[in-house]
């Protein structure tokens, strides 16, 4: 049985260094035929994207922030299966070849894939009852099941919003993750946005 192709969406400001490893790995996966880069700071690009055949490079005139980038990437994705990835994370991408995504199911990452926990590479899907730290490092879902994140949530709480909107919530376990986590979003220049996001999210709980 052939599985549906996957569109990968990666917002970036080119502050992380894991993309140098992640993009070639994604390019090698047959099931992935589209890698959408939502570029929020294209003047600082530090990778030669011409080396990749699957990349759709979307240059933004200004920083639209990560949650609107997730919405945009999902909207323009040509495939029904969408994988949202972070630009400061690396993982073994082979598991994407066989992952099955059901209607109205959101798949994220289990906390135990991150240090200081140690797991062997043996990806499996388990039930997830509560969104834990690192869940949104990878988000996989069907485009038709996606609910747009409200435009007044710019950087934070987009994953919380999606987690509440999907009826089925699952996690990937057995996928060791390399990440510095929130390399861009924790910059002091985004503190005001974080505070406003926190206030705005109260009405969506």
pLDDT classification of 15: cutoffs 50, 70, 90: confident
As a whole number, the mean pLDDT across the chain is: 94
Q: What are the structural domains, with CATH classification, of the chain?
A: 6-204 (3.90.550.10)
pLDDT in tens, 36-72: 999 999 999 999 999 999 999 999 999 999 999 999 9
Closest CA to 162 of 78, 74, 33, 58: 74
| CA 52 centroid distance within chain | 19
Share of the chain above pLDDT 90, in %: 87
Highest mean pLDDT, choosing among 11-15, 85-89, 162-166, 182-186? 162-166
Q: What DSSP element (H or E) covers 173?
A: strand 168-173
Average pLDDT of 24-46? Answer: 96
Least confident stretch, 22-31, 86-95, 180-189: 180-189
163 and 131 Cβ atoms separated by less than 8 Å: yes
d(CA 162, CA 147): 7
* Local confidence band at 189 (pLDDT 50, 70, 90 cut-offs): confident
Residue 186: is its pLDDT beyond 70? no
The pLDDT of residue 116 is above 70: yes
Question: What is the per-residue pLDDT across 169-183, written as a single tens digit (0 to 9) for each?
Answer: 999 999 999 987 665
Q: Give the residue ranges of DSSP H helices in the chain.
A: 19-27, 66-76, 158-165, 191-201
Mean pLDDT of 88-92: 94
Is residue 167 a contact partner of residue 102, using CB atoms and an 8 Å limit? no
The phi, psi pair for 109, rounded to 5°, reads: -120, 135
């Amino acid at each position: 049985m052939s599985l549906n192709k996957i569109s990968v969406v990666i917002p970036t400001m080119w502050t992380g260094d894991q993309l140098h490893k992640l993009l070639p790995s994604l390019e090698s996966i047959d099931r992935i035929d589209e890698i959408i880069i939502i570029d929020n700071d294209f003047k600082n690009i530090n990778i030669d994207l011409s080396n990749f055949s699957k990349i759709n490079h979307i240059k933004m005139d200004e920083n639209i922030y990560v949650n609107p980038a997730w919405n945009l990437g999902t909207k323009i994705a040509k495939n029904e299966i969408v994988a949202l990835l972070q630009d400061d994370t690396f993982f073994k991408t082979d598991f994407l070849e066989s992952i099955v995504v059901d209607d109205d199911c959101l798949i994220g990452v289990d906390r135990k894939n991150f240090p200081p926990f140690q797991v062997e590479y043996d990806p499996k899907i388990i039930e997830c009852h509560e969104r834990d730290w690192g869940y949104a490092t990878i988000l996989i879902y069907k485009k038709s099941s996606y609910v747009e994140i409200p435009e007044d949530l710019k950087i934070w709480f987009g994953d919380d919003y999606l987690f509440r909107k999907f009826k089925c919530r699952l996690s990937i376990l057995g996928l060791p993750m390399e990440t510095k986590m929130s390399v861009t979003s924790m910059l002091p220049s985004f503190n005001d946005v974080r505070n406003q996001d926190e206030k705005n999210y109260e009405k969506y709980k």
